[in-house]
């Protein structure tokens, strides 16, 4: 214990006799996972020394980890000298055994040995001058409990993102595991000596060595398996989870023992993407499909990719070029959000499963959609010139009459409620209905009625839904935007030339552009990589330059690929 105390900076200059006096005051305490030892803002009254397990220093205001502390680490030592509010909370992430030194006991010791206070005050002064908070992007999920057989894809993607050793811990009676030969930093540890009594202690030691630990659960329920589930940050089931696993997780959730999330499924079979990305769940249920396992691995390591597609009418054709490049470069997209043109082009791209031939044919096809036979005119006009029912039917054909639940990834479609002015986000039900609502350009088309709401173009509330992606779990946000200022874009701006009054489509388009330009500023801080394509159209329904606009989006996206790959390859300590 003397040596452990000497590692604490406040004690490093004390004599062996002083250290032995402090050690005699230490009290042994144990905390289960999920406990809060002290909270940010509490007046400090003790120091803690970690014997086993792991604790997290947590900034409540920022909602992020400042440090992970394992065996031999210490926290709260400033409280021994200063009765100040705690600068952060201390929470238990793995069942922890700690030694506590209370300030009252320490104060009594200082009266007997005042030299200790002199040494500690000198060290404290130096620390206050040098110290500043060093935040890092927190990787909270460090331990996964796995049921089922991983064919190597999960571990391979974890290793790719973490770039550090990974440990596999097989519990007794778990299925045999052979690590993939092409992943060198995966180590299968022996599970023979693991017991109910020492599991937390062993994990506390291993987490200091390995970047991630995967506990292989047994085929049948037992007390050790239930303990492992309670210690895990993430519970993954490859294939349908057995009843005992569901029951164990439910029991833990009711008792607030587990930090894992909240719902296995819904009424009826869940859509494919809800098994790999639909926070929150108690169990991350997936298949052995490489795409699904890769998505799980990115979610664990904080590399979930969200793609936001902006509004912009005909300019939004640039999204098609951007999507083509992301597909060609194998850039994963885990969550998609689109507004207006972004909802339209993104929705048809992912619903129809485009290939190279479809990319080539679409530029010509979209120009055939914008013709008089597809315009159902209101006579007389009331809410809009067009009814928009034919537009909805065209959209339904392009998305192959699919529902949101049929897509392989979560898709969020943004519209606006004209009666309340509030944003409406669709993520379930009829895909064409939601896209038609998001495309309802005011005065041009009737607001689209869904249930008892009248919906218009989402550009008036959220033209580039990056914040929405963050709220849905995206760690990396890529945005494809065609929003641009009107200033200087008009060819006769600033001169005395006289020209015709703009037609109603151009007036509506420019009004929307002015709104978009203001609202997009609130989203910029949420975007990691921006694919910003400059494109010119006469109005929102102008698709005459489709081929050149798609090519422009492709060129801009290709230029951003190095930045996107840098985000994907970054680790949490970079």
Please choose, from the candidates 239, 250, 245, the residue with its C-alpha nearest in 3D space to the C-alpha of residue 222: 245
Q: Which long-range contacts (CB under 8 A, 24 or more apart) does 276-281 make?
A: 277/304, 277/334, 277/335, 277/409, 277/410, 277/473, 278/410, 279/472, 279/473
What pTM value is reported for the model? 0.73
C-beta neighbour count of 242 within 10 angstroms: 16
Q: How far apart are CA 504 and CA 551, in angstroms?
A: 29
User: CATH 3.40.50 region(s) of the chain?
Assistant: 143-301
Q: How far apart are CA 214 and CA 238, in angstroms?
A: 13
What does the block give as tokens for 354? 């485009």
CA distances for 167 relative to 47, 159, 179, 400, angstroms: 31, 11, 10, 44
Locus of tokens 């998505």:
295
Q: Given 3-state DSSP classes, what are the helix, strand and coil percentages for the chain, each rounded to the nearest 5?
A: 40, 20, 40
Rounded to 5 degrees, what are φ and ψ at 393? -65, -40
Please choose, from the candidates 189, 136, 133, 193, the residue with its C-alpha nearest in 3D space to the C-alpha of residue 166: 189
pLDDT at 281: 54
Annotated catalytic residue, options 18, 95, 430, 457? 457
Annotated catalytic residue, options 159, 174, 230, 340? 340
Q: How far apart are CA 258 and CA 45, in angstroms?
A: 28
Q: How far apart are CA 334 and CA 136, in angstroms?
A: 23
What does the block give as tokens for 10? 């406040």
Q: Any idea how long the chain is? A: 574
489 is catalytic: no
For the chain, the first-to-last Cα distance in angstroms comes to 34
Q: How far apart are CA 542 and CA 58, in angstroms?
A: 52
What does the block give as tokens for 524? 């910029």
Domain covering 305-483+502-571: architecture? 3-Layer(aba) Sandwich (3.40)
Residue 93 in contact with residue 33, Cβ under 8 Å? yes
- Cis amide bond preceding 380, omega within 30: yes
pLDDT at 153: 86
CA distances for 376 relative to 370, 443, 449, 494, angstroms: 12, 14, 16, 39
Q: What is the DSSP string of 419-481?
A: TT--EEEE-SSBHHHHHHHHT--TEEEPPEEETTEEEEEGGGT-SS-HHHHHHTT-SEEEEEE
Residue 55 in contact with residue 127, Cβ under 8 Å? no
340 is catalytic: yes
Domain covering 1-134: architecture? Sandwich (2.60)
415 exposure class (CB count in 10 Å sphere: 0-12, 13-18, 19+): buried
CA distances for 562 relative to 79, 528, 557, angstroms: 47, 12, 10
Instruction: Specify the CATH number of the domain 143-301.
Output: 3.40.50
Residue 424 in contact with residue 435, Cβ under 8 Å? no
267: three-class secondary structure by DSSP: coil
Per-residue pLDDT of the chain (574 residues; tens, 9 = 90+): 666 676 666 676 678 888 888 888 889 999 998 899 999 999 989 989 888 888 889 988 878 778 888 887 788 887 887 778 898 999 998 888 898 989 888 888 888 877 776 666 555 544 443 333 333 344 457 899 999 888 888 898 888 888 889 999 999 989 888 888 888 899 999 888 888 888 888 888 888 889 899 999 998 999 999 989 988 888 999 989 999 998 888 887 666 543 333 222 222 333 443 333 333 357 888 888 888 889 988 988 889 999 999 988 888 899 999 999 999 999 999 999 999 999 999 999 888 777 767 777 887 787 777 766 777 787 777 777 788 788 899 999 999 999 999 998 999 999 999 999 999 999 999 999 999 999 888 878 889 999 889 999 988 889 999 999 999 989 999 999 888 866 644 555 455 565 677 665 676 666 766 776 777 777 788 899 999 998 787 666 777 788 889 999 999 999 999 999 999 888 755 4
CA distances for 307 relative to 222, 339, 414, 530, angstroms: 42, 12, 14, 10
pLDDT at 556: 94
> Where in 207-353 does DSSP place strands (E)?
212-216, 234-238, 284-286, 305-309, 335-339
CA atoms within 13 A on the CB side of 90: 24
User: CATH 3.40.1090.10 region(s) of the chain?
Assistant: 305-483+502-571
User: CATH 2.60.120.10 region(s) of the chain?
Assistant: 1-134
**Three-class HEC string of 320-341:** HHHHHHHHHCCCCCCEEEEECH
Task: Give strand pairing partners of 90.
Answer: 38, 57
Pairing mode, if any, of strands 36-38 and 443-445?
unpaired
Q: What is the DSSP string of 124-149?
A: HHHHHHH------------EEEEES-
């Amino acid at each position: 214990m003397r040596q452990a105390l000497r590692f604490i900076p406040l004690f490093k200059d004390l004599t062996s006799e002083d250290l032995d006096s402090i050690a005699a005051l230490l009290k042994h305490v144990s905390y289960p996972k999920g406990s809060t030892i002290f909270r940010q803002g509490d007046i400090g009254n003790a120091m803690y020394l970690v014997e086993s397990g792991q604790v997290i220093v947590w900034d409540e205001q920022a909602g992020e980890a400042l440090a992970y502390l394992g065996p031999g680490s210490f926290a709260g030592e400033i409280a021994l000298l200063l009765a100040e509010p705690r600068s952060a909370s201390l929470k238990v992430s793995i069942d922890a055994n700690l030694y506590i030194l209370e300030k009252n006991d320490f104060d009594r010791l200082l009266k007997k040995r005042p030299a200790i206070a002199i040494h500690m005050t000198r060290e404290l002064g130096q620390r206050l001058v040098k110290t500043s908070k060093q935040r890092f992007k927190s990787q909270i999920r460090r331990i996964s409990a796995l049921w089922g057989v991983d064919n190597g894809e999960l571990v391979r993607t974890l290793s790719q993102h973490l770039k550090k050793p990974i440990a596999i811990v097989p519990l007794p009676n778990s299925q045999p595991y052979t690590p993939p030969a092409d992943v060198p930093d995966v180590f299968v540890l022996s599970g023979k000596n693991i017991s109910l009594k020492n599991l937390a202690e062993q994990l506390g030691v291993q987490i200091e060595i390995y970047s991630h630990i995967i506990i292989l659960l047994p085929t049948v329920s037992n007390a050790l398996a239930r303990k492992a589930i309670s210690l895990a940050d993430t519970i993954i089931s490859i294939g349908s989870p057995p009843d005992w696993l569901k029951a164990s997780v439910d029991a833990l959730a009711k008792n607030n023992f587990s930090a894992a999330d909240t719902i296995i499924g819904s009424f009826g079979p869940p859509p494919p993407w809800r098994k790999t990305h639909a926070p929150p769940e108690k169990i991350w249920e997936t298949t052995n499909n490489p795409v699904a396992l890769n998505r799980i691995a990115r979610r664990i390591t904080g590399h979930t990719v969200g793609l936001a597609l902006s509004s912009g009418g005909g300019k939004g054709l640039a999204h098609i070029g951007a999507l083509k490049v992301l597909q060609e470069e194998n850039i994963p997209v885990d969550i998609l959000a689109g507004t207006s043109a972004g909802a339209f082009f993104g929705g048809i791209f992912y619903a129809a499963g485009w290939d190279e031939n479809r990319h080539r044919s679409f530029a010509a096809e979209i120009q055939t959609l914008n013709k008089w036979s597809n315009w159902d005119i209101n006579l007389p006009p009331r809410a809009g010139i067009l009814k928009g029912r034919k537009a909805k039917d065209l959209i339904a054909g392009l998305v192959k009459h699919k529902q949101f639940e049929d897509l392989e990834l979560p898709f969020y479609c943004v519209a606006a409620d004209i009666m309340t002015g509030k944003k409406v986000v669709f993520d379930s039900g009829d895909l064409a209905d939601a896209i038609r609502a998001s495309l309802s350009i005011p005065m041009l088309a009737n607001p689209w009625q869904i249930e008892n709401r009248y919906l218009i173009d989402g550009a008036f509330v959220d033209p580039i839904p990056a914040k929405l992606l963050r709220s849905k779990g995206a760690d990396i946000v890529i945005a494809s935007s065609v929003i641009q200022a009107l200033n200087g874009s008009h060819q006769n701006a600033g001169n005395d030339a006289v020209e015709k009054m703009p037609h109603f489509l151009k007036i509506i388009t420019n009004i929307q552009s002015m709104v978009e330009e203001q609202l997009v500023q609130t989203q910029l801080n949420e975007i990691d990589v921006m694919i910003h394509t400059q494109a010119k159209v006469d109005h929102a329904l102008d698709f005459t330059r489709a081929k050149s606009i798609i090519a422009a989006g492709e060129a801009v996206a290709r230029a951003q690929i190095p930045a996107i790959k840098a985000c994907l390859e970054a680790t949490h300590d970079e």
